[in-house]
Amino acid sequence: MAGQTPGGYKPCPGRKQSGGWAVFNLVPDIGVDLGTATVLVYVKGKGIVLREPSVVAINRDTGRIIAVGEEARAMLGRTPGNIVAVRPLREGVIADYDVTEKMLRYFLEKAGCRRFFFKPRVMVCIPAGVTGVEERAVRQAAMQAGARQAHVIEEPMAAALGAGLDISEPSGSMVVDIGGGTTEVAVLSLGGIVCATSLRVGGDKFDEAIVRYIRREYNLMIGERTAEELKIEVG
């Protein structure tokens, strides 16, 4: 009979037939906010499962990664000469592709992706107005990190959806998203971005300004980590 497999077996809804085997859609989709200062990983059905600094500690002599995330951030300004703590993303885009790919792989595995039998689909936030080369670099990094499919979404759109704004209406909604490396400003309407700009200035510049101020006013040197803590504390 047409539409049936031999023996009268009908595939159940929610299964995909592949070579006679039923492949269950058991792998949750994953969202990644790959920020200059912080990386967030969202797993569908669980919410945000990981929030860590986008910092990697590398041994200059061997090129080996020593630490990633919180552990690497603790080393900022406190490492010996042969170990350097770096941020592989600058102003919202990838500055060091290899280190970014390894960092993303580490975060996805830490978020539990290694437990999945099949590779997940991954959506990554990117600044508005990035070049095609920069967008492809993000997609490729996600694929190399273990994604089955890699998609991108502009940060203002993701911020609006996350804030619960109804952008489907024929009225404008403005979003200002201040990140570590960029500030995204966009007007959204009818389900899309009407106009947007990405300013390559963000929280990192605030940290640098605090470092300069403390040095100038108090003749005291502080590191990036201390400057960030002061910024958060003062608000």
Q: What is the model's pLDDT at position 119?
A: 83
Give the CATH number of the domain where residue 38 resides: 3.30.420.40
What is the C-alpha separation between 85 and 185, in angstroms, rounded? 30
For residue 142, is it within any domain? Answer: yes
For residue 59, is it within any domain? Answer: yes
Quick check: 234 pLDDT over 90?
no
At 93-135, the pLDDT tens digits run 888 888 988 898 888 888 876 666 678 899 999 888 788 888 8
For residue 65, is it within any domain? Answer: yes
For residue 5, is it within any domain? Answer: no
- 57 forms beta bridges with 67, 85
Taking alpha carbons only, the member of 191, 187, 234, 200 closest to residue 214 is 234
For residue 47, is it within any domain? Answer: yes
Taking alpha carbons only, the member of 121, 104, 112, 107 closest to residue 46 is 112
What is the C-alpha separation between 195 and 192, in angstroms, rounded? 9
pTM: 0.75
For residue 16, is it within any domain? Answer: no
Domain enclosing residue 88, as ranges = 27-155
For residue 127, is it within any domain? Answer: yes
Strand order in the sheet with 56-59: 65-68, 56-59, 83-86
When pLDDT is cut at 50, 70 and 90, the band that residue 10 belongs to is: very low
Q: What is the model's pLDDT at position 146?
A: 84
At 56-99, the pLDDT tens digits run 999 988 889 999 999 888 877 677 778 888 889 887 788 888 89
Q: What is the model's pLDDT at position 175?
A: 93
Quick check: 213 pLDDT over 90?
yes
**DSSP run (H or E) holding 72:** helix 70-73
What is the C-alpha separation between 32 and 144, in angstroms, rounded? 14
At 139-150, the pLDDT tens digits run 998 888 888 899
For residue 124, is it within any domain? Answer: yes
Domain tally, the chain: 1
